[in-house]
Amino acid sequence: LVVEPQLARWRDEILRHTGVAPTLAGSGATWFLEGDITSGSGASGSSPELTDLAARGATIVRTHTVDAVRATG
């Protein structure tokens, strides 16, 4: 956050719009949220909160994980 102050702004925006505190990824360039916060009816299956963040310039990528046994068969 010291090197790139804009990260703090996005952290605060994500928290304000979703009510969920984001976690900074290990790369230091990406915030992520755990859990499903996309139950709304916004664009691309996103909640209105995420749609608003995207309109402000955020790139929203919805992902999911599966356990190793299921992933490898």
Residue-wise pLDDT for 28-54, tens only, equals 888 988 877 655 443 344 577 778 888
- The CB density around residue 18, as the number of other CB atoms within 10 Å, is 18
Tell me what pLDDT residue 61 has: 84
**pTM tops 0.85:** no
CB of 60 closer than 8 Å to CB of 47: no
Assess whether pLDDT exceeds 60 at residue 19: yes
- The CB density around residue 62, as the number of other CB atoms within 10 Å, is 11
The DSSP string of 31-55 is EE--S----S--GGG--HHHHHHHH
Assess whether pLDDT exceeds 50 at residue 64: yes
Tell me what pLDDT residue 51 has: 82
Tell me what pLDDT residue 39 has: 52
Tell me what pLDDT residue 38 has: 58
